[in-house]
Amino acid sequence: MPTDDAVAFLTQQVLQALQTAELHGSTLSAEQLRDAATRIVQQFTAFRDQPDAAQARSLGGRLAEQGMSLQAFIRAGRVLRSDAANNGTPDNSDARWEFVSAVLEGYVEETKRAAQEATIAEIRATQRREDQLRAVIQELSTPIIPIYRGVLVLPLVGAIDSLRSQEITEKLLEEIVRQQADMVIIDITGVSVVDTSVANHLIMTAQAVGLLGSRVIFTGISSTIAQTIIQLGVNLGDVVTLNNLQAGMLFALQQLGLGITELASV
């Protein structure tokens, strides 16, 4: 069993090794370094008589959790191994080397665990950012604009598939109820392709709006789109179609007994 003076001397050597390694950018305070050095040496000296690899690994995990750098631990390990080689018998020297290895194993395991947790946290944060961005994009892809009391405009841009059509319909119906809208202008000038699927999606949206007692006006119907709809044999029913948004706005206001006039010159 080492004397108290030998333990104190070894503790001081380990502390100096830790302080040297943690001189710049350390997350450990001076008190934490002293405590770490004391615990390392206490378990190191006790390991000869009662080897406890699990306890040694636990110590390594705590050191890593506290933020001790790998360089600091390596320096401390060199001091311990030097002491074991110079001051121990062959039997206890081997045991103390096993102690250093077990502590290092615990340190590495904790470092890996912390890295995995950090990776998972980063992945979750990225997913949250993507969800937020997706929500913003969805909001921008379906902008419903009230232009007058009871009149809404929905300008559509890009491609329309089944999923987006459902989102458009759901959001539009919610806004109709909230705004108590009588007229809804759906402008498809920016829709990239109008085929049978897109046309049917738009008609189903118009039918859903009609169930709420509101009326749909489609604008942005160019001659090309009109010919496509005719060739596809899509039945628009009594849905009003106009060639541009301005015409749609005028029509909607007229249905409400309103109109747009120029202000008299001052």
CATH of the domain at 240: 3.30.750.24
Residue 23 pLDDT class (50, 70, 90 cuts)? low
pLDDT mean over 29-41: 87
A 10 A CB-CB count for 64 gives 22
Residues in contact with 88: Cβ distance below 8 Å, sequence separation at least 6, in sequence order: 48, 96
Q: Is 138 among the domain residues? A: no
What is the helix (H) or strand (E) element at residue 28, kind and residue range? none
Domain span holding position 228: 145-255
The share of the chain scoring above pLDDT 90, in percent, equals 20
Confidence band for 209, pLDDT divided at 50, 70 and 90: very high
Distance CA 84, CA 134 (A): 60
Confidence (pLDDT) at 190: 86
Which residue's structure tokens are 């458009």?
Answer: 168
Claim to verify: residue 233 and residue 172 sit in the same structural domain: yes
Would you state the pLDDT for residue 154? 94
Give residue for tokens 């390991």. 47
Residues 117 and 157 in one domain: no
Q: Which of 88, 121, 154 is the last residue of a domain?
A: 121
243 within domain boundaries: yes
pLDDT of residue 29: 81
Whole-angstrom distance, CA of residue 11 vs CA of residue 42: 9
Mean pLDDT taken over the chain = 83
Instruction: With respect to residue 260, please indicate whether it lies within any of the assigned structural domains.
Output: no
- Asked if residue 162 and residue 99 are part of one domain, the reply reads no
79 and 169 in one domain? no
Total of domains in the chain: 2
Instruction: Please report whether residue 135 resides in a domain.
Output: no
Which are the contacts of 95, defined by CB distance < 8 A and separation ≥ 6? 47, 48, 51
pLDDT digits (tens, 9 = 90+) for 86-112: 665 555 567 777 888 888 899 889 889
**From CA 29, how far away is CA 21, in angstroms rounded?**
13
Centroid of chain to Cα 92: 52
Same domain, 156 and 197: yes
- On whether both 101 and 8 belong to a single domain, the answer is yes
Residues 112 and 217 in one domain: no
Residue 266 inside a domain? The answer is no
Closest-CA residue to 242 (of 254, 232, 233, 251): 251
Summarize pLDDT for 112-156 with one digit per residue, the tens: 998 889 889 999 888 888 877 776 666 566 789 999 999 999 998
Give, in order, the Cα–Cα distances in Å from 67 to each of 31, 74, 181, 193.
Answer: 14, 14, 61, 58
What is the per-residue pLDDT for 191? 84
Structure tokens at 60: 């390594």
